[in-house]
Structure 1
Amino acid sequence: MQQPFYIVLNGHRLLNDTPVLRSENRAFRYGDALFETIRCMHQRPLWFTDHYQRLLNGMSLLKMDVKSLPPAGILAAEISTLIQKNRLFGDVRARLTIFREEGGLYTPAGNKVNYLIEVSPLTSNGYELNNKGLLIDVYTSEQKPINHFSHYKTANALLFVMAGLFKKEQGKDDVLILNSHHHIIEGLASNLFWVINQEVFTPLRSTGCVDGIMRKQIIRLLRENHLRVHEVSGTDLNTLLQAEEVFLSNAIQGIQWVVGLKQKRYFCKLSKDICRWLNEDAANYMQDSQES
């Protein structure tokens, strides 16, 4: 008999096949929602303070009632308890979704939020660099607007759905996204980095890219290891074709190195170092959070 699997809705544990959203749900009707995807190690969320702060920033921008969201410590404990309840002993992906309470049409009746926690197992323990480099392309049919919402993960994701379909049609592993200035700013679900003459470049947050939690860790680790990091106003195809190395980052996978874009082929040197630094840093974070 298959083991029951659980989710958490507003602090209540439910079987994952329990209906939880009504037709009036504002995330369903209007995309009135934010979410975070969080890697968990040893049944605890990694870099949760950063995830929680980004969530609060997004809620404030969307005029959601931040006081209606439980404190970080309570949410982190709920994630850990849910992982344990589902008997997940390796690394885990957690998704925390925040959506405004029901009521109203475009104009909300209220600003309090509900929250939903889901967890699923990952195939690796610790960050693993992909053995086979990614083959990528550039999605040019639509551009990402540059606005205050661009930095956050919202339920308004049609651009990324269409980019994902393009990736699938082209048989690629990932695609790069353009902003409204036609600058390349990020991957499908990741931040973008490239290396030229042993210096690292990544788009500024003001270009419209997601304010990535992993992006923040990588920039910090690069600088701690005395590498020069330049945050720039996006890039273009010609610049990327001149780079020696390209890699993508997100909170779940850490970094993924790119082997090819168009006819260009890339090395995998710095990516190996960064992956090692990430695992060391994650282990230190877990130990420090346990001691505190």
Structure 2
Amino acid sequence: MLNYNGKLIPTTSHFINQENRGLRYGDSLFETIRVVNSKIYFWEDHYLRLMASMRILRMEIPMSFTMEYLENQILDTITQNALENAAVRIRFTVFRNEGGLYAPKTNEISYIIEAKKLENTFFVIDESPYEVELFKDFYVNPDMLSTLKTNNKILNVVGSIFAKENGYQNCLLLNNQKMVVEALNGNLFLVSGKTIKTPPKSEGCLNGILRKKLIDILGKLEDYTFEEASISPFELQKADELFITNAIVGIQPITKYRKKIFANTVAKNLIGKLNAAARLG
């Protein structure tokens, strides 16, 4: 079952037509959210990011879109799928209603909530080989639109095909200044000695929820210095660790980039702190 504008319908239902603006123009936003035993991880952060993104795209936010209402819609969807005692991946998609060409006839929106069971209840470190390469066919624009979680993800799609065709687990994206911005499916963190850094949003990286949470955690660590700073491709092979963050996996260590093999000591140290933060908020 999925939730379409508050109505639970079978996943086999045909409820979107060729006029859908998400399909036609990518006029859509989405949140990917982890829910465990009916507790929504970092719900306030997801909610505030969605509201801010809708305002930036000039979508009309319904009066009913309170935190409590949307939380209830998510939990109802989970219950209808008999997943209330499981770890669940929620995709919450918002799209502008049909009508118009590039210029919409309305700024009113509709939404879809999908639920899918996850394997792990907690964030865990996967120590399987995880090799990455730079994707240099296309670049991320360093502007505010790149920081939003929109449905305009063709760069990520083509990059994922490149990774699959060449036997990589992921690719790192560059902006048009040739600086490393993020991975195909999450934010990037680099560890060098006692310094940990991640690209600033001004470079064009996604305004990730896990990125925000890890920045909060790293700011309290006495043993490391944290920086939001540009990362050049040259720095990757000099780093001690590289890892990717997103709301579903948590922290994914990179084990290899070209000839460099990386450790995962800091990633292992952070995963427990991240799980603790998830349980609290």
TM-score (norm 2): 0.97
The answer for the alignment partner of 1:280 in structure 2 is: 276
List runs of 5+ in structure 1 lacking aligned partners.
1-5, 286-292
After the TM superposition, which of the residue ranges 208-217 and 39-48 deviates more from structure 2? Answer: 39-48
| Residue 166 of structure 1 pairs with residue 139 of structure 2 | no
CA contact (8 A) 2:32 2:247 kept: yes
Give the whole-Å Cα distance in 2 for the aligned partners of 1:149 and 1:69.
Answer: 26
The answer for the alignment partner of 1:231 in structure 2 is: 228
The answer for the alignment partner of 1:288 in structure 2 is: none
Give the whole-Å Cα distance in 2 for the aligned partners of 1:283 and 1:107.
Answer: 43
Change in Cα spacing, 1:69 to 1:140, as seen in structure 2 (3 Å) is: farther
Q: 1:71, CA displacement in angstroms?
A: 1.2
List runs of 5+ in structure 2 lacking aligned partners.
none
Amino acid across the alignment from 2:238: Q
Q: 1:284, CA displacement in angstroms?
A: 2.2
Give the whole-Å Cα distance in 1 for the aligned partners of 2:79 and 2:39.
Answer: 10
| Residue 75 of structure 1 pairs with residue 70 of structure 2 | yes
The answer for the alignment partner of 1:3 in structure 2 is: none
The answer for the alignment partner of 2:38 in structure 1 is: 43
Matches within 5 A, 1:204-223: 204-223=200-219
CA contact (8 A) 2:54 2:60 kept: yes
| Residue 149 of structure 1 pairs with residue 145 of structure 2 | yes
Q: 1:168, CA displacement in angstroms?
A: 0.3
Matches within 5 A, 1:9-158: 9-67=4-62, 70-88=65-83, 89-158=85-154
Give the whole-Å Cα distance in 1 for the aligned partners of 2:234 and 2:221.
Answer: 28
List per-residue Cα deviations over 1:166-212 (Å, max 9, x = no partner). Answer: 01011111100011111111000100001111210100000000000
Q: 1:69, CA displacement in angstroms?
A: 6.0
Give the whole-Å Cα distance in 1 for the aligned partners of 2:268 and 2:64.
Answer: 38
List per-residue Cα deviations over 1:54-75 (Å, max 9, x = no partner). Answer: 1111111111112356212111
The answer for the alignment partner of 2:257 in structure 1 is: 261
Give the whole-Å Cα distance in 2 for the aligned partners of 1:242 and 1:225.
Answer: 23
Give the whole-Å Cα distance in 1 for the aligned partners of 2:241 and 2:183.
Answer: 15
List per-residue Cα deviations over 1:6-59 (Å, max 9, x = no partner). Answer: 000000110111112111110011110000100011123211111111111111
Q: 1:147, CA displacement in angstroms?
A: 2.0
Amino acid across the alignment from 1:276: G
The answer for the alignment partner of 1:242 in structure 2 is: 238
| Residue 186 of structure 1 pairs with residue 182 of structure 2 | yes
DSSP-derived class of the 2:151 partner: coil
Give the whole-Å Cα distance in 1 for the aligned partners of 2:31 and 2:278.
Answer: 18
Amino acid across the alignment from 1:72: M
CA contact (8 A) 1:94 1:118 kept: yes
Amino acid across the alignment from 1:223: G
Give the whole-Å Cα distance in 2 for the aligned partners of 1:222 and 1:20.
Answer: 44
Give the whole-Å Cα distance in 2 for the aligned partners of 1:69 and 1:100.
Answer: 16
DSSP-derived class of the 1:176 partner: strand
CA contact (8 A) 1:133 1:256 kept: no
RMSD: 1.1
Give the whole-Å Cα distance in 1 for the aligned partners of 2:90 and 2:62.
Answer: 22
